[in-house]
Amino acid sequence: MTGKTSEQAKASGAKAKPAKTKPATKQDAAKPDAPLTGPALLSGGNPQIAKGHGDAPVQAYIAAMPGWKSAIGHRLDTLVTQTVPDVQKAVKWNSPLYGMDGQTWFLGIHCFDKYIKLAFFRGTSLTPMPPVASKTEHARYLHIHEDGVFDEAQFIDWMQQASQMPGEKM
């Protein structure tokens, strides 16, 4: 080996090169020596989290949600888990998913700049339907904005209904 070890470099007075890190955001990418500050934030501030099944990747996503969104993400996850104790969790396509069998899903969460989008994959079958229409035939959405105001009782009712329906394969 021809390179100096870090101890040899210290002894000779040479400065060790800092390890290269991946920028956390597109803004950090413009700074050549930006340190890694957490998962990258994709377009709209959505955290880039590795695909995986179970609670751990979902908790990593929630922890990486920027600003006010993380507290709402924790609250949503708690409500889903309390309402549907046997819920299965995963992160796919940089979005937490909730389902009953680990292969089909009834709810997805996704961050945007100004709101969190909750996707009810069979939302047209819920009573009442979530308020925001989708281009996808059966999906409906609920948007939660920075004020964090949403009807928790209605959300819980939707979770109870959605968990009893067939999920969407993703």
Q: Given this model, what pLDDT does residue 9 score?
A: 41
Instruction: Give the dihedral sign, CA 84/90/48/119.
Output: negative
The pTM assigned to this predicted structure is 0.75
Instruction: Give, for all 170 residues of the chain, the pLDDT tens digit.
Output: 444 444 444 444 444 333 333 344 444 444 444 444 567 776 777 788 889 999 999 999 999 999 999 999 999 999 999 999 999 999 998 899 999 998 899 999 999 999 999 999 999 999 999 999 999 999 999 999 999 899 999 999 999 999 999 888 77
Q: Given this model, what pLDDT does residue 4 score?
A: 42
Tokens at 49, concatenated:
């989290």
Q: Given this model, what pLDDT does residue 7 score?
A: 42
User: Which tens digit of pLDDT belongs to each residue from 22-68?
Assistant: 344 444 444 444 444 567 776 777 788 889 999 999 999 999 999 99
Distance, in Å, from the CA atom of 95 to the CA atom of 55, rounded to the nearest integer, reads: 13
- Domains of the chain (ranges, CATH numbers): 45-169 (3.90.1150.200)
Could you tell me the CA-to-CA distances from 124 to 35, 108, 110 in Å, in that order? Answer: 45, 15, 19
Residues contacting residue 105 through CB under 8 Å, at least 6 positions apart: 90, 97, 98, 99, 121, 167, 168, 170
